[in-house]
Structure 1
Amino acid sequence: MPTTEFSHTFAVAAPAGQVCAHLAEPANYLGLSPLVVEVRDVRRTGAAVSYVAVERFTLGPVHHDNLIAVTITVPLPDRRLVSDVVSPARVRLTATVDLAPDGAGTRVTETLRVTCPALLRRFVLGQAREVQRFRAAELTRRMAALSAPG
């Protein structure tokens, strides 16, 4: 199956530890991804947290709920977070988030590695890129709000 990798870098107005802690909490993905409408079955095992995320795809009045298994690990505290995603139809995604101090904030680089059947490639990659850009904007907004005085 074909594999594609791409990255997006952006800055947030919060220290790396705060960003890492936010991304390591499954409940925070509600609204952080435009597709995720529910997070359930959260299990913590050592340094990993696993859960099921419900992605909702809508086409007019019809919607499809896609259940994805996600495992988050933090191999380098406050520096790197990795999410492994297993989705139906043999779609696999690994999101590696690298965090680097950038003045009073953090430079965030999210690298997505997507493996999927060739027939789904265009759709899956389009959704992955769209979600990645949305997540960057929403994370930037959330960190600015958390860091704002008062």
Structure 2
Amino acid sequence: MATEEFSRSVTVAATAARVFAHLELPDNYVGLAPLVVAVREVTTLPEEVRYVAVERFRLGPQRWDNPIRVSMTFPRTGRRIVSDVHSPGGVRLTATVDLTDTPEGARVRETVQVVFPRPLRPLVIGQAAKAQRHRLAELARRMSEAHPR
């Protein structure tokens, strides 16, 4: 198995508390994560939420739904969310979101660590990086004054 890690940051027009409140709800990941079309089997525990996210892949007229198990944990600071994702094929992704208030709103820094079988590297890293760029851009859009959610 191989491991890679990468980070990106964006400043959004909302407080860290508002961003946290948005990100702690699994249903908000539909469309936030570009392939996620549904969330089901949500279990809420103290400082943790577990759910199944359904990723939809399309190749021409064919579609394939990939259910992935997600566990989100919330350290008591209210400034960090850690999502552990287990996907078929031996792929595991951990995304850590750190939130910091700034004069412009909130700085959102997401660090992604991916563990994967070496032959899958181009696909896994390409998809994870593309998804991260989409997620941060969509979060910034959602947090803008024109689109409060």
TM-score range, shorter chain: over 0.9
Q: CA deviation at 1:76?
A: 4.0
For residues 63-82 of structure 1, the aligned pairs below 5 Å read 63-82=63-82
Match of 1:113 in 2: 113
In structure 1, the partner of 2:9 is 9
Question: Which of 141, 146, 149 in structure 1 is aligned with 2:148?
Answer: 146
| C-alpha distance in structure 2 between counterparts of 1:108 and 1:45, whole Å | 24
Runs of 5+ unmatched residues, structure 1: none
C-alpha displacement at 1:77, in angstroms?
3.2
**Partner amino acid, structure 2, of 1:102:** T
Shift of 1:104: 4.2
Aligned residue in 2 for 1:60: 60
Equivalent residue for 1:102?
A: 102
TM-score by length of 2: 0.95
Partner amino acid, structure 1, of 2:143: M
CA RMSD of aligned residues (A): 1.1
TM-score, normalization by structure 1: 0.95
> How many Å separate the matches in 2 of 1:19 and 1:106?
8
Contact between 1:8 and 1:111, CA under 8 Å: does it hold in 2?
yes
Partner of 1:43: 43
Unmatched segments (≥5 aa) in structure 2:
none
Q: Is the 8 A contact 2:12 2:104 kept in 1?
A: no
**Structure 2 counterpart SS, 1:63:** strand
CA distance in 2, matches of 1:47, 1:110: 19
Aligned length: 147
The alpha carbon displacement at 1:56 in A equals 0.7
% identical equivalent positions: 55
Decide whether the 8 Å contact of 2:11 with 2:108 is kept in 1.
yes
Deviation at residue 115 of structure 1 after TM alignment: 0.4
Alpha carbons 1:20, 1:77 under 8 Å: kept: no
